[in-house]
Structure 1
Amino acid sequence: MNRRKAIARILLFGGAGAAIAGGASYYHFNKKPDLLDLDQYVPLIAELAEVIIPETDTPGAKSAGVHDFIVTMIRDCSSRKVQNRFLYGLEDVASYARTQYNKSFVHCSKEDKAAIVAHFEKKSRPWEGLMGKISSRLFGDSFFMTLKKYTVMGYCTSMQGATRAMAYEYIPGRYQGCIPLQPGQRCWATE
């Protein structure tokens, strides 16, 4: 066998393998998700949101009802790619907590929950440059980016988040583009 034919066959089989793997992962993220599974993950979503925005002297994400907002956004306002990635991410968090800590995420200590969330935050960082753009376009945002985005959005638009965690003025006066904050003052929800 001559070298040219051998190299051509290697490239052909390598390219075919890459195309099959890419097609399988593309199908994996674009198939119709089973959104009924989302209901069983509501306690996990609530705990994950609480780790992102914990309760201090202001209400946390769980008491603001952010988990219901996240479920609604995933179910009604997200594409199939985002729904599938979110469901696979929840499965990954549940299985990671079981393998690393021998208990469910909900029953882990605060330190263990923070370590698990830090692991998934580090894991979900997007690639740099062109590969990151292609990955984001083909597969959507990562699980943790979606979770974080919807947690912050849900908290800032909730009644408790807007009124008790941020300064809220029911009827704002004139528009001011830049308002300096005083020491100890909360950020504005309306201005």
Structure 2
Amino acid sequence: MDASIQKKMNRRKAIASLLVLAGGTAAVYSGVRWRKLNTAPDLVKLQAHKDLITELAETIIPATDTPGAKAAGITPFIISLVTDCTPRREQNRFIEGLIEVDGYARAEYKRSFIKCSTEQREAVVAYFEKRDRPYKGLLGKVSKRIMGDSFFTIMKKYTVIGYCTSMKGATEGLAYDYVPGRYVGSVKLQPGQKCWATE
């Protein structure tokens, strides 16, 4: 057999072996990850990370001329939603995400997220928002079905729901009409108009 043909055959075998090895490694990793996400979550860690949840929520909805998430007191609401209303996989992803946020802040800035400056916190949140952005199309649907929502998706969603349904968020952060008048189907918004607190 010609030496060049032998080299090509050897190269193909080597590439095939590498692909099989990579596929096997990915399958093992996926299996371990799947098992980990489906174990009973350690919900006690939510209370241990209460201050971190508060500061993350405040970074997502900071105080400006209206109260932020911290002033609205939404941390117990977020913990309650994760504990009582979130599937097991997403509970594990959320707890895992809290640990990763603190680890990332320590690796980047040599301090915990809570002790970071506002700019550093915003950079950490931007990193996790980009990292946890859902895939588009069919891949996104399959990923959500199998793995559930990502950490930052859950954190952001629960922060917004908690803020918009809190007393301070609904009455000071949003436009709230306690006793609405007649129904008007189409209203022109004024410049700087706040969103309505009720639908």
8 Å Cα contact 1:172/1:190 also seen in 2: no
Which residue of structure 2 aligns with residue 140 of structure 1?
Answer: 148
8 Å Cα contact 1:124/1:145 also seen in 2: yes
Q: What are structure 1's unaligned runs of at least 5 residues?
A: none
Deviation, 1:55, is 0.3
Indicate the SS of the match to 1:46. Answer: helix
Residue-pair matches, total: 190
Quick check: 155-164 or 168-177, which moved more? 168-177
TM-score (norm 1): 0.89
Deviation, 1:189, is 1.0
Which residue of structure 2 aligns with residue 167 of structure 1?
Answer: 175
Which residue of structure 2 aligns with residue 20 of structure 1?
Answer: 28
Q: What are structure 2's unaligned runs of at least 5 residues?
A: 1-12
Correspondence 1:180-191 to 2 at 5 A: 180-191=188-199
Bigger radius of gyration = 2
2:112 to 104, 108, 119: 104
Which residue of structure 1 aligns with residue 6 of structure 2?
Answer: none
Deviation, 1:66, is 1.5
Residues 2-50 of structure 1 deviation map (CA, whole Å, 9 limit, x = unaligned): xxx9999887766554433222111111111000011011110110110
Give me the identity figure in percent.
56
Root mean square deviation of aligned Cα: 2.3
Deviation, 1:85, is 0.5
Indicate the SS of the match to 2:71. Answer: coil
Following the alignment from structure 1 to structure 2, what is the Cα–Cα distance between the partners of residues 94 and 9? Answer: 39
Correspondence 1:39-188 to 2 at 5 A: 39-188=47-196
Following the alignment from structure 1 to structure 2, what is the Cα–Cα distance between the partners of residues 104 and 140? Answer: 27
8 Å Cα contact 1:58/1:165 also seen in 2: yes
- What amino acid sits opposite 1:109 in the alignment? S
Residues 57-110 of structure 1 deviation map (CA, whole Å, 9 limit, x = unaligned): 100000101111111100111000110000010000000111111111111100
Indicate the SS of the match to 2:133. Answer: coil
- What amino acid sits opposite 1:97 in the alignment? A
TM-score (norm 2): 0.86
